Structure 1
Amino acid sequence: MKKQVLFLTVVLAASAAVATTKPNIIIYFADDISAREFPVYGSSVWTAPDATTTSDPKYRAKTPVIDRLAEEGCWIETAWASVVCNPSRAMMMSGRYAYRTKWWNNGDRGRGHDETGKLVHTWPVYQSSPLLIGHVAQQAGYGTFWSGKTQMAGEYALHGFDEGCFTPGGLSDTDNPYTDFKHKPIKGGGKHAVTNVDTGRPVETYWQHGWYWYPHVKLMNHPTAPGKTVWWPNTPESQKDFGPHTYGPDVELDFAFDFMERKHQEGKPFFVYHTSHLGHDAFNWLDPEYKKWAKSKWPNAPIVKWDGRNYTRTQPKITGDKGEYETHGTITEPGIHHHINYIDYQIWLYRRKLEQMGIADNTVIIICADNGTSGYGKISPEIQKGCHVPMIIHAPGMKKHGKQEVLMSVADVMPTIADLVGFKIPDDYKIDGISMVPFLFSDQQEHRDWIYTYRGPEQFIRGRKVLKDGRGKWFDVSTDQDDLISFDEIKDWGSVLEVHRAEQEKLLEILPQYDLYFDEYNEPGVPDDPQRKMKKYYRMSKD
């Protein structure tokens, strides 16, 4: 491991534009986007605005910048996250699976003691895993910044970040005085009974804040409010410019750039963990009755256009109030493809910023997502619909370029970052992820023999030949499919090759060490909650 880190440091030093030899790191962790939505994956189908599957070119995202990064760097053919956000985010930050973190599913997390010793119903990930992705960067001398969506229990700063811009942190943040793009639950009205505060009328949707237009934003330890977490806009100038035209993803990026500039001026490398909302469906406050556009799960985005070399962006103009808004032709129609186009625009902005700062050749960029697309893959136990996510890695000195036919887990990102920043994970600190550095920076041809993920008790595992999904069904994955998913189910093991049967046996030997939902649900030593409802789950078959 030390030789690999030394090799990487030497390579980076040759091209570094700043005094430090340590590379800057940017992780762009998008929300609810399947691999099939990124054109570089070559899928014959993708997602339409109404969440159906389509092959209509007009709904195909266009990502020229990401495509180029994927070819100059590399893209991983089969990268797995979980099938839903909470366990994926815990996996990304910790490099560990749920049998260690106890983050099994959204709203289904084990009890444990928080930093004060109080027994809580969601064990903070930094309690189970005191070395998170932010911590390893901090301890390696990096300035660390967390931007975007959080969804992590406990104190933000205890996850290993010096500063943050959150859009928003969580539904508990209900006191935002600057925007009324939010919901209030209707007492006794049921799970989806909420009031749109902007109009004062009840709506049928899940409880949420506005994270796109007129967003809810909190700053952590920003120079304008050192040592505090405060609502933004928090200065007269920012309050003057804030309104329905303000786009949350822009705010996230602006504060990330501010942090990068300050750290660069200090001569300090930076780690930016950008957990964007882009890709996630949401209530459309600009058109709460869906009067102007066909019903879509994904709200409009700012218009961006690519001319072959650069992007231009139309400045949004949005006027009106109380659910009646005019957008003056300055934003797109709804659809996830527009969100992905905007991600490409933001990656272009990152690259342009790095070039302006003179550090593009000393910065690692990783682009991925937390789970599959809403309406197609998210929460799906079927084959790998929910867990197959895009994974693009661009780093100076890499030997791997273009498509890489290997298996990778989101849990691998944390030890990869540790190697990149020069942090040695202690031998007695166990993680489940495997660093990608040996594969990326050498002639090594393989990375993993198998990958694993989960949603509650649903257990997914695959090798190069066979896959077991969350329903307990097995599939032959030895050949590529045009839609990335239509693998043949294996119903008769006598009809497949011996290598398939041998791999199944190996995978079944691996699974029991992780399949502990029913046996070790909580923090070690904490008894199971007798009120925990198990009726909706079933014990998955071992065969």
Structure 2
Amino acid sequence: MTGDYLRFVGRVMLMFFGSVCAAFAAVTSSDRPNVILIVADDMGFGDLGAYGHPTFRTPQLDRMAAEGQRWTQFYAGANVCTPSRAAMLTGRWPVRNGMTSNRRRVLTAHAAGGLPPEEITIAEVLREAGYATGAIGKWHLGHLPRYLPTRQGFDEFSGTPYSNDELVAKPWRRAFQRRDYWNTSLFYEPRSEYWDIPWMRNEITVERPVDQRTLTSRSTDDALDFIGRRGEQPFFLYLAYHMPHVPLFVSEEFAGRSEAGIYGDALAELDDGVGRIMTTLREQGMAQNTLVVFTSDNGPWTVFGSHGGSAGSLRGDKGSTWDGGNRVPALFWWPGTVAPAVVRDLGAGVDLFTTIARIAGAPVPEDRQIDGVDLTPVLRTAASGGRGFMPFFRGTTVWAVRDTRFKMHLATQLGFGLETPRMEHEPPLLFDLLDDPSESRDVAASHPEAVARLREELDAFLDHLTHGPDQLVEQLPES
């Protein structure tokens, strides 16, 4: 062998052992906390006791709010499921990667697209940093194999590939095609066999249709199993509960538990699941080294009446660009690190990518536009911070924007499922959200400087907003 060859081999071996040592250090280092991101489905801003609901009982989440931070101006990355989850996991507005569309609101069970493989999820970032990664519950970012969680940075997955109402079984599809489908027994007297929903483990279907009465309890059980198998390795757990998205289901143990109907029952079972996880962290001595985040993917679907949630004093609901469709509960809990407080600064689901990466000591990708801001200074000190600008998309178009005080609407329309026309506003509507969170008093005439400033900020934002190919529109043939 030549000297050059030996030096080459030596460099390769040095790089190999260096990477092994670095990986081992990342896995065993105590300064890399565990992270659990819990996401409810269609939970409204006003659904929790900690956010003022007078009837729903959510003692575990209320305790989490009291011991950690409760954000009161935190927004989902979009006003419906698929784009909101894409924003949360990639730190990018979903229009950039085609995960929002003007023709379809979410990925269906027949969608040919999904989260593009070239996107970088927070699971991929953390796995590179030595974390074990798990996804449990609802995915809804692509059901074909190349889009499943196990191809997007997650070591393991147990759950459903899409929403629990995405695939109506053949005998009942005619009812779902009605314009007023939300008035059918599919939702108000649901049975699991109405919906042909698979439960998967990694990439294998293990039950179809899944017994939807078990969705919440089995998600919690699988989360506890994942946590219990981690040992000394830091972990990232993405726990996406299906409830309280319609159709509502609860286990026998929680049926009739609340005094607020099945929606209250579903919240009670979800709240109990969060409590079981928090109790495990305390009992296993993991609480001081685990960040737990709880939020929702968008606002409540109020068209379903008592089967939908509450936006509290906020206007609008799921699918709209009013605050009721976008402002969601957000709780951050990490004893000894997250400073307990009520935070009134702006934050968003898109910020969780950057924030979690920073907390884990993992690099944020520099080869693409990352839209999330780092919220860790606020989490650690409760000092003022957060974002200063928030766009509100409907499909691929920005319909409204806000700063730390004012929100400007260029167009408005009622939420998902309601057939109402789009209303254009010129001059735009303007609301002072600090004084008028219900967006009921237009103050554009008395604050022309705020309208002008927000127009400028929107123009600057749009100048740098790229659009990826629409991932939602192409459909596979239906069977």
TM over 0.5: yes
Q: Which amino acid aligns with 2:284?
A: M
Helix, strand or coil for the counterpart of 1:141?
coil
Instruction: Determine the C-alpha separation between the residues in 2 that align with 1:148 and 1:462.
Output: 32
Structure 1 position 139 matched with structure 2 position 128: yes
Shift of 1:72: 2.1
1:436 matched to 2:401:
no
Query: Once the 2 structures are TM-superposed, how far is the Cα of residue 247 of structure 1 from its aligned partner?
Result: 1.9
What is the match of residue 225 of structure 1? none
Amino acid at match of 2:341: G
2:443 matches 1:504: no
Aligned to 1:38: 48
**RMSD in angstroms over aligned alpha carbons?**
4.0
Does residue 490 in structure 1 map to residue 443 in structure 2? yes
The residue aligned with 1:9 is: none
1:392 deviates by: 0.7
Residue of structure 2 equivalent to 1:183: 169
Residues 309-337 of structure 1: CA deviation (Å, up to 9, x unaligned): xxxxx746xxxxxxxxxx7x778773433
Provide closer, same or farther for how the CA distance between residues 275 and 427 of structure 1 changes in structure 2, counting only shifts above 3 A.
Answer: same
User: Structure 1: which amino acid aligns with 2:432?
Assistant: V
Deviations 1:240-269 (A, max 9, x none): xx99695211111111111111112xx211
Verify: 1:374 aligned to 2:274, yes or no: no
**Which of 261, 265, 273 in structure 2 is aligned with 1:338?**
265
2:380 & 2:454 partners in 1: Cα distance? 31
Moved more, 159-168 or 345-354: 159-168
Out of 264, 284, 292, the residue aligned to residue 357 of structure 1 is 284
Q: Which residue of 2 aligns with 1:125?
A: 115
Q: Does 1:268 align with 2:233?
A: yes
Aligned length: 410
Q: Give, in whole Å, the separation in 2 of the partners of 1:478 and 1:333.
A: 30
Equivalent position of 2:405 in the other structure: 465
Other-structure match for 1:383: 322
How many angstroms apart in 2 are the aligned matches of 1:361 and 1:186?
Answer: 49
Q: 1 CA distance for matches of 2:100 and 2:390?
A: 17
Structure 2 CA distance for aligned equivalents of residues 145 and 336 of structure 1: 28
Match of 1:101 among 92, 97, 110: 97
For the residues of structure 1 that align with 2:213 and 2:106, how far apart are their CA atoms? Answer: 37
Q: Structure 2: how far apart are the matches of 1:402 and 1:450? A: 22
Q: Secondary structure at the match of 1:230?
A: strand
Alignment of 1:79-118 (within 5 A): 79-81=74-76, 82-105=78-101, 108=104
1:43-442 map, 5 Å = 57=54, 60-81=55-76, 82-105=78-101, 108=104, 123-129=113-119, 131-153=120-142, 154-167=147-160, 169=162, 183-184=169-170, 191-192=177-178, 210=192, 216-220=198-202, 229-232=204-207, 247-264=214-231, 267-282=232-247, 298-299=248-249, 301-302=250-251, 315=253, 334-375=261-302, 377-398=316-337, 400-442=339-381
2:148–2:161: 8 Å Cα contact kept in structure 1?
Answer: no
Structure 1: distance between partners of 2:240 and 2:325: 18
Call closer, same or farther: CA 1:192–1:165 in 2, change over 3 Å: farther
Q: Aligned AA for 1:36?
A: G
**Percent identical:** 24
Cα distance in 1 for partners of 2:338, 2:213 equals 41
CA distance in 2, matches of 1:248, 1:433: 31
**Deviation digits for residues 415-442 of structure 1, max 9, x if unmatched?**
1111122111233332111121132224
For 1:412 and 1:246, locate their aligned partners in 2 and report how far apart those are by CA, in whole Å: 33
Deviation at 1:231, TM superposition (A): 0.7
Contact 1:383 1:467 in 2 (8 A): no
Task: Give the whole-Å Cα distance in 2 for the aligned partners of 1:530 and 1:368.
Answer: 30
The one-letter amino acid paired with 1:21 is D
Question: Is residue 445 of structure 1 aligned with residue 396 of structure 2?
Answer: no
1-side partners of 2:166 and 2:50: how far apart?
Answer: 38
- Rounded Cα–Cα distance in structure 1 between residues aligned with 2:242 and 2:159: 10
Question: Structure 1: where are the runs of 5+ without partners?
Answer: 1-17, 47-56, 112-119, 175-181, 196-201, 221-227, 234-241, 283-297, 303-313, 317-326, 532-543
Q: Which residue number in structure 2 is paired with residue 3 of structure 1? A: none
* Between structures 1 and 2, the one with greater helix share: 2
Amino acid at match of 1:94: T
Provide Cα deviations, 1:360-381, integer angstroms capped at 9, x if missing partner.
1111110000111011644443
**SS class of match (2:392):** strand
Mapped to 1, the partners of 2:234 and 2:257 lie a distance apart of: 37
Equivalent residue letter for 1:274: L
Equivalent position amino acid for 1:146 in 2 = A
> What is the CA-CA distance between 1:340 and the residue it aligns to?
2.4
Which whole-Å CA distance do the structure 1 matches of 2:384 and 2:236 have between them? 28
Q: 1:132 to 1:446 in 2, by over 3 A?
A: same
- Checking the alignment, whether the CA contact within 8 Å between 1:24 and 1:269 is kept in structure 2 is yes
Measure, in 1, the Cα distance between the counterparts of 2:210 and 2:462.
52
Residue 22 of structure 1: how far off its partner (Å): 1.6
In 2, the alpha carbon distance for the partners of 1:209 and 1:133 equals 35
Q: In the alignment, which of 522, 538, 541 is matched to residue 469 of structure 2?
A: 522
- 2-side partners of 1:463 and 1:243: how far apart? 43
Note the alpha carbon deviations across 1:507-532, whole angstroms, 9 max, x for none.
3333423776xxx4627xx9x9999x
Letter of the 1:496 counterpart:
H
- The 1:66–1:213 alpha-carbon spacing in structure 2 relative to 1, beyond 3 Å, is farther
**Gap runs ≥5 in structure 2:** 1-27, 304-315, 413-424
SS in 1 for 2:100: strand
Listed one character per residue, the Cα deviations across residues 171-202 of structure 1 (whole Å, up to 9, x for unaligned) are 8998xxxxxxx622667777249x9xxxxxx9
Summarize the Cα distance change of 1:503–1:431 in structure 2 as closer, same or farther, 3 Å threshold. Answer: same
Cα distance between partner residues in 2 of 1:278 and 1:189: 22
Distance 1:427 1:417 in 2: 16
- TM-score normalised to the size of structure 2? 0.74
SS in 1 for 2:372: coil
SS in 2 for 1:392: strand
Against the structure 1 CA distance between its residues 110 and 216, is the aligned structure 2 distance closer, same or farther, given a 3 Å change threshold?
closer
